[in-house]
Structure 1
Amino acid sequence: AEMISVMASITVVDLRYNNLDTESATMLATFAKEKRISLCGITPEQTVADFSSKKTGSYMLPADAILLAADLAVRPSVTSIDLSNNALCGIRFGQGTYTADGIKAIAESISVSPSVTSVNLSRNQLCGIDERGRGTYNADGIKAIADSIAVS
């Protein structure tokens, strides 16, 4: 973070897929919002952001979702986001630990972003249960998304 604060000309970096913990991602997100820096590679003019695993070949985790939520705060040009087929709540193919931290950050950013009109969250195990029925049900992620839709 100290290095980024010295380099005032940086406006776009991509820190996804670095296995950050949510605490580190939150710290980076706070700083990026202050400096108006994209942490997920979204350019200032970009209107569509496709972060589906089919496009990227990697799975976004909760910390990556926190970084993206910060991007949405500084990139009002984005109208459509594809987050399908990821692990935004930490679970993929019966592996991982459920946390709603990432999806809550995404939900909050959607609720305050007037430009976002389309979000694909399919195949993200938002309720803690994977596509084969493995896991433990948890409504935190679904509730966060429902609440964000209700206010947007």
Structure 2
Amino acid sequence: MAIEEGVVFKMGTAGKAWVRTTRSSACESCSSRDTCQGEGAGQEMEVEAINTAQARVGDRIVLNIKTASLLKATFLLYVFPILAMLAGAIIGQRIAEGRGSDPSAMAALFAFGFFGLAFVVIRITGRRLAKDNSYRPEIIKVRNHPPQPSEDLMAHQAEP
């Protein structure tokens, strides 16, 4: 489980909120650090999170990112295409040997074909996983609530 802190800057739809976080030291060793949606000098990132803690705009929050889901998505994006390409090369070489064709050309043809097919599989799987909340960050704790205008008014009215 990866824990990050951030600030809610916009409310989303259906129990979600947009959170702005600052890159932590854990981000420096991540291979995807350059693909995260960032602003400015790359120190801030924005992410849509499930708002189970009922956070409001301006709240400082704690964000939970499930490590198992992160690893599965990383495998799908980085390892699966390489494995598909290797499988395509091996299959292409075997077919070429059986037909008397050039094994290198057939291996390359099948490797790139399987590589392209892997991206189709990733696209379809990615759409399915985007609907699965276990692959989304979740707001698990609110550090502080900024006072709302109505709360300020009530506090001033209660003072003698």
TM-score (norm 2): 0.18
Q: Which has the higher helix share?
A: 2
Decide which structure has greater strand share. 2
- Highest Rg: 1 or 2? 2
